[in-house]
């Protein structure tokens, strides 16, 4: 009974998009891009740049589509026919692209997600979609890891969740210290994975070696 109460007490993940009413108009956004071009030292009216503001907005609309999406819509359909399976379900090598919230430049990498089902499972593609939704927002890798783990924990209520992200941050490789190839690894464990170091080791072994 305590375990059930504990699960129900899990807070809903922070997945709400920004209030659309506070967004600037398209005209304001286009003018802002023109201002940045001028600030950089170029002429936004020259032939090669005159359509750049429109292209910029179209690209950023795609980059940050995650603000318009809700993981609840992705994880709302589960399957109860598990055949009694209760061991690790792992999806690894999920490619993702996100943008650093400090410099608004990309960080690119792979996500590895595992969970221990109780009486239901979710389609594997849905786990990849959870990564995609949260990655398509301004992020830190730490926050992204926590959001993915918390969303799966909240909606599936499994016995445990494990998340590992490995990424190269262009805010570090293309500017600042300019250390090309330096990778950042973050992990987030919940439930049984957090409580049991042996399960954590098994998860990492499966991610690294597949066995």
Q: Report the pLDDT value the prediction gives residue 210, as an integer from 0 to 100.
A: 80
Domain residue spans in the chain?
2-13+73-209, 20-65
Mean pLDDT, all residues of the chain? 90
Q: Report the pLDDT value the prediction gives residue 16, as an integer from 0 to 100.
A: 54
The CATH T-level fold of domain 2-13+73-209 is: GTP Cyclohydrolase I, domain 2 (3.30.1130)
Q: Report the pLDDT value the prediction gives residue 89, as an integer from 0 to 100.
A: 96
Q: Report the pLDDT value the prediction gives residue 194, as an integer from 0 to 100.
A: 97
**Window from 2-6, 20-24, 52-56, 139-143 with minimum mean pLDDT:** 2-6
- DSSP readout, 65-133? GGGG--HHHHSS--B---TT--S-EEEEEEEEEEEETTT--EEEEEEEEEEE-SS-B--HHHHHHHHHH
Instruction: Give the catalytic positions in this structure.
Output: 100-103, 141, 169, 171
Question: What's the pTM value of the predicted model, to 2 decimals?
Answer: 0.88
> What CATH superfamily classification does 20-65 receive?
GTP cyclohydrolase I, N-terminal domain (1.10.286.10)
CA-CA distance, 167 to 193, in Å (whole number)?
22
Q: Report the pLDDT value the prediction gives residue 19, as an integer from 0 to 100.
A: 61
Which pLDDT tens digit goes with each residue over 90-134?
Answer: 999 999 999 999 999 999 999 999 999 998 999 999 999 999 999
Among 186, 188, 119, 194, which residue's Cα sits nearest to residue 151?
A: 188
């Amino acid at each position: 009974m305590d375990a059930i109460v504990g699960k129900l007490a899990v807070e809903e993940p922070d997945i709400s998009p920004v209030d659309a009413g506070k967004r600037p108009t398209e005209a304001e956004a286009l003018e802002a891009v023109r201002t940045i071009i001028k600030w950089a030292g170029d002429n936004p009216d020259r032939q090669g740049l005159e359509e750049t503001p429109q292209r910029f907005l179209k690209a950023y609309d795609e980059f940050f589509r995650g603000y318009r999406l809700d993981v609840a819509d992705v994880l709302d359909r589960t399957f109860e026919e598990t055949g009694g399976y209760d061991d690790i379900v792992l999806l690894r090598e999920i490619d993702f692209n996100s943008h650093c919230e400090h410099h608004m430049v990309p960080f690119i990498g792979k996500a590895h997600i595992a969970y221990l089902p109780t009486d239901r499972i979710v389609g594997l593609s849905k786990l990849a979609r959870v990564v995609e939704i949260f990655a398509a927002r301004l992020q830190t890798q730490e926050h992204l890891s926590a959001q993915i783990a918390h969303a799966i924990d909240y909606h599936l209520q499994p016995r445990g969740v494990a998340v590992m992200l490995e990424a190269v941050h262009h805010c570090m490789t293309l500017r600042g210290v300019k250390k090309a190839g330096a990778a950042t690894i973050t992990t987030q464990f919940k439930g049984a994975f957090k409580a049991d170091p042996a399960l954590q080791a098994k998860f990492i072994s499966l991610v690294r070696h597949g066995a």
